[in-house]
Amino acid sequence: IKDIISGFSIPAALPWHLVDEVYIPVNCGEDFHWVLAVVVLKERLIRVYDSSMVSRKKVYAKEIKKLSVMLPNYLHDSGFFDKMGRTDWASMEAYKDKETGELLGPQHSFE
């Protein structure tokens, strides 16, 4: 995974610090249902898209939480944060007027 983040082993050969978004299909376990996790790197958040009308109201927090815990470790190990710099949370549109610990709906922050 560190090689992919650094730009190796993928057809486009672009390191993640040069792209805005990364698309990750996520299998939601028991249901054999997939959702799309869009990692918005510059905003440090994960957006979740679900095409199923039946499961629209269901939140796949468990699977996305795993991704939000695992991803920062890989980004750190690959040197991503050194290349991108730290995030000024107060200036980010997604986090304006948010109190610490307030939920952002289908968005999950990481860093």
> pLDDT per residue over 43-76, tens digit each?
888 898 888 766 655 667 788 888 888 888 888 8
> pLDDT per residue over 2-47, tens digit each?
666 666 665 555 677 778 888 888 888 776 788 899 998 888 888 9
Query: What are the boundaries of each domain within the chain?
Result: 16-109
| Strand segments (E) across the chain | 21-27, 34-40, 45-49, 107-109
Exposure string for 41-54, b = 16+ CB within 10 A, e = fewer: bebbbbbbebeeee
> pLDDT per residue over 80-95, tens digit each?
777 776 666 566 666 6
Q: What is the reported pTM?
A: 0.63
